[in-house]
Structure 1
Amino acid sequence: MSFLSRMMGLPDESAPPRNAAAGRPRAEFNLGLLPEPDGRVLGEVQRKQMIAAIKAYCEQSGAGLAEAKQVVDAIARGDRLVSGTAQAESSRARPEASPGADPQAHLDQLVMEGQLIAAIKFYRDIYGTRFAEAKRAVEARRDQLMRG
């Protein structure tokens, strides 16, 4: 860009666009078991109030700070949020599908094997709870089983 062009305020045709994110393809961010952020979270991100957005997402979802920060950062980058529960629900059988199965025994087995994520997913399927509630229940059951 020439000096004269800069002085006249003409755009530099050879320079990359100022907003490099606008030219990049949208990445996907897998939410896993976490819910889609609500309007309050999205509004805080738009206003560039990241701490408020993280706090709002923690309250909405029951997620921890690290998880909430990852979600908020993905929103700020413009990533497309993908729910992992839709894929997981279509690929796994519901507990009701096997009438002789004992859901509590299966849950205990998952917990004892250290498969806490699978146990949380299973708990949510059985009781239809939110992530935070299922996580607390599974962790409480783990503590019970460890005590004997």
Structure 2
Amino acid sequence: MQMLALGFGALVYALIEGPARGWTDIRVLTLSAAAAVALLTFVAVELRTTDPMLDLHFFRDPVLSGAAVTAFMISFGMFGASFFLPLLLQDVMGWSPSSAGLAGLPMTALIVIAAPLSGAFTARCGPRIPLVTGLTLCAAALGGLSLYGEHARYLEYLWV
């Protein structure tokens, strides 16, 4: 458990410091190496213990692995958009915090609607089609956000 916390802590700190210090900075390289060693140690321990915290043998199943990678990618993209889009709207485009918050309501509403529907759809036709569809829609939406500059109007990227 300590190796996992150390590994992710070092990785997050390296990712935070990398853009500011440069990716070849000694501190960033040391943190990256420490993260790699700690995470590989965690994997080695988990593979050998009789009662692992995370049974890595589950990831031999390609459906489970695909679902886990897809969930990570979608969460990474959506959390990034949820963090940076309000900053863009407020700091670059000059919107008020209330206006920026209201701009996120359509995304929130669609998540509330799509979550139970995706569960029912997955139960009916299996995980592949919903996973591929969700990842494709998320990639299209995040790509769509990159099309607009600082003078974009709300209605231009509402589809995203």
Q: TM range, normalised to the smaller chain?
A: under 0.3
TM-score of the superposed pair, with normalisation by structure 1: 0.24
Q: Which has the higher contact order (CA 8 A, sep 6+)?
A: 1
TM-score of the superposed pair, with normalisation by structure 2: 0.23
